[in-house]
A = this chain, B = another copy of it.
């Protein structure tokens, strides 16, 4: 039986939105025990399922929390979910709350698997090939990463793509400013050499940012800072184009009519780009499955964050990483 701890106080949209996600998830998953952390007076009204346990907490971690401030909030839903996961036999912990707080807490409380020099914060990302995802890491847990860190990320991402996506020898790339060997900053050149020499990896070389979502890559490794820029630049452009498209269709009666005729295809296009069905980002290399749901999680998005955690537990990824790094 898979056991998961859930911080119910994290989302911008409040615990009721998250509760919808939990309920939808429970409909399709029976072999599960859920431990919900948050305000008992709210949560006890929302849940009566016998495999759901409510743990009352009295503090909430603010979205823009500093690391030190987070560590003082020991009665918060996020802190208690993390620390009970570390102490108990829970398999996973999920939160939609402050990314900074959650990453700090996960690193200090759940701790790295022995032999993992740096855990990677990883976004499974949608691609142009429907149903095909790409794992990008690190997307911002670190600011700076050494060549050895990048090599570690490559191994972690490769284990993820192999065990969760069931890909045989997933193709691993480095995000760089050109495709030729020898491009980029020194750490990336050195990481290239390390990864090329590692026969356990199916290393494919450099990839430029414009090709990451083509569907050709399974795993893309990068330093946390440019990884974060990559993620947010892509998000920003997607949002800008959606805004312009929406304006175009709202222009007049005729363009509104036009929308009715193409609506089904536009919805399909939005579905291909719908990041909510990924649920969130994951931390690879820690002693438990750790999923950071989107900060603005609604029920649908949070359900998918729980599915993401569940799939990682079922694939036994923590044990597989332990074996690989032994």
* A interface residues (Cβ-Cβ under 8 A, vs B): 64, 128, 140, 143-144, 175, 177, 180, 184-186, 208-213, 222, 224-226, 228-241, 243-245, 247-249, 251, 254-255, 257-262, 265-266, 268-269, 272-273
Contacts and interface: CB of A to CB of B under 8 A. Distances in A.
Contacts of A234: 233-234, 236-237
Given A128-B240, A128-B243, A211-B236, 18 more contacts: A143-B177, A143-B186, A144-B185, A175-B229, A177-B229, A208-B232, A209-B228, A209-B233, A212-B233, A213-B236, A225-B226, A229-B229, A233-B234, A237-B237, A237-B241, A249-B262, A258-B259, A259-B262
17 contacts: A143-B177, A143-B185, A143-B186, A144-B185, A177-B225, A177-B229, A184-B225, A185-B225, A212-B236, A213-B240, A230-B233, A233-B234, A241-B273, A248-B266, A255-B261, A258-B259, A258-B260
A26 B6 CA distance: 67
- Interface residue SS majority, chain A: helix
A222 B232 CA distance: 15
A213 B236 CA distance: 8
Contact of A226 (B229, B245, B272): B229
A157 B55 CA distance: 54
A184 B258 CA distance: 45
A28 to B, nearest CB: 29
Nearest to A180: B64
Given A143-B177, A144-B185, A226-B225, A249 B236 contact: no
Contact of A248 (B143, B144, B244, B269): B269
A18 B216 CA distance: 34
A236 B230 CA distance: 10
B269 A245 contact: yes
Contact of A209 (B222, B232, B251, B265): B232
Contact of A262 (B140, B212, B225, B255): B255
Contacts of A209: 228-233, 235-236
A229 to B, nearest CB: 5
Given A184-B143, A257-B261, A244 B269 contact: yes
B251 A265 contact: yes
A164 B180 CA distance: 36
A226 to B, nearest CB: 5
A222 to B, nearest CB: 8
